[in-house]
Chains A and B, each alone.
Chain A
């Protein structure tokens, strides 16, 4: 089973990288970009009987730092 975990910074947490990329996009002449936030995707290939609970635990314990990050778990097949 293929899993995609999307880890993103929580709203309200300043994203210095996103801000730098935002500036760069403006520097390239792109108009109308209001905000840029940078996250991370983690792709997992797990046994088909892996439980949702186990996937959540993987995110909570390691893949995301829940002090600053949110995550979503997507099953790809």
Chain B
């Protein structure tokens, strides 16, 4: 059976197409594109992706409105059942606002929007989304965000580190994130949120392919499961 994924589009999402192209390139089948107002997700999805962008114009807080949209209730239910969910940039913000991931993404410490390719260290190479990498591997992936400053209290940070739930760290902290955290996993390991954009680094023409192994590793594992 063909790999079945879905990309959720909110009003103001702008990386949904990039995400869809990356998924199709690696999986060989195009993802379903789901509108935020849809109240139901198709059954049997192998992966759900929440793309980057500025859902609802970042009103109130980045990701806050999207986290309360009808489709997110379905995404939360699916995640609780173990369906893999990948949130990139605004998608990460939505996942924290929906409480699928701990912590919050605050305004960058510099106050500036940052848009450049950064170096990341793969901290956990055992999870579904990171098994395409080697532990400790350094990869280059672009970031483009204004609110990527990861915050959680010390107790939560200790727990995340103790449970191996820090997926990626910035080699050079670009936004003020606590403990240089660029991406975190939920406890079960089926939900990953990250500020850098792996879907923007899956083709040599993008200037790098640092994000390719994320999609390849996850899709290969899910396709053979």
Contacts and interface: CB of A to CB of B under 8 A. Distances in A.
Interface size of B as a range = 20 to 34
The B interface is mostly helix, strand or loop, or mixed, namely loop
B135 interface: no
B13 interface: no
Interface size of A as a range = 10 to 19
Interface string A36-77: 000000000000000000000000011101011000000000
B25 interface: no
A62 B72 CA distance: 14
A17 B151 contact: no
Interface in B11-66: 60-61, 64
Given A16-B176, A61-B68, A62-B60, A67 B109 contact: no
Given A16-B149, A16-B176, A65 B107 contact: no
Interface of B: 60-61, 64, 68, 96-97, 102-104, 106-111, 149, 151-153, 176
Interface of A: 12-14, 16-17, 20, 61-63, 65, 67-68
Given A62-B64, A62-B68, A68-B106, 13 more contacts: A13-B106, A14-B106, A14-B109, A16-B107, A16-B109, A16-B111, A17-B111, A20-B111, A65-B61, A65-B64, A67-B96, A67-B102, A67-B104
